[in-house]
Amino acid sequence: MRVLACFVLTLVCASASAAENVDALLEKASAGLSRTFALEARFHQRADFAFMDVPLESSGKLCFSLTERQKIIFWEYREPERSGFRWVDGDVELWTGQDSRPASDAEKRFLNGMTDQLLQWISFDPRRLKKRYHVSPGRTPLSLRFVPKEESALFSSIELTFSSDFSRIEELRFTGRQEDVTTIVFDAQRVNGELSEDCAR
């Protein structure tokens, strides 16, 4: 009986320690990310699917600038093919190759929804995140895993890995409903500066 009691106490202490660690990481990430209002970064994306022998890989550039004057998000795949979008205060431009066009109403709704999600991750409000997700430690001391409390059609979990100073997200890892995994690694080039011409069409 004494052994069982010690085992239960160990589990409770471990659970409390994990919860404290999660809360500490959430607060550090919130404080660090709140200082980042502009970013330029290259990214590499790898998608592993159970039904494919070879992963799908691509690379490109992410830029955002979130000021009181204007909010801009730029996402472009550059390899293996050029395509992307630029969101400016709700207006969306799409392109494939050299062909550029305004987004249709349906595309605009989709991209505005996706951009809204991205803005929520950038703002990183711990209280809001804990209302929407079960949060647990990730695979490294600088990562957190988020599992939606309400089932999502898009993913079963998201894991974020932060930079050592918590000023930016260095890796996103999405696990899909069919256990497919998409990993996006970011290599920051410029933080809190004016966006370069490389972030424009």
User: Tokens for 67?
Assistant: 């000021």
The answer to whether the predicted template modeling score (pTM) of the entire model surpasses 0.75 is yes
Query: Which residues form the domain of 65?
Result: 2-199
Q: What digits encode the pLDDT tens for the residues 27-64? A: 999 999 988 899 999 999 999 987 888 899 999 999 99
CB 36 within 8 A of CB 168: yes
Q: Is 29 left (phi over 0), alpha (psi -120 to 50) or beta?
A: alpha
Above 50 in pLDDT, residue 5?
no
Q: What digits encode the pLDDT tens for the residues 123-176? A: 889 999 999 999 999 999 999 999 999 887 678 999 999 999 998 999 999 998
Residues 6+ positions from 31 with CB-CB distance below 8 Å: 166
The angle subtended at Cα 27 by Cα 41 and Cα 140, nearest 5°, is: 60
CATH (domain of 24): 2.50.20.10
User: Tokens for 150?
Assistant: 């309400």
Q: Between β-strands 143-148 and 181-191, what pairing exists: parallel, antiparallel or unpaired?
A: unpaired
How many structural domains is the chain composed of? Answer: 1
pLDDT at residue 10 in the model: 32
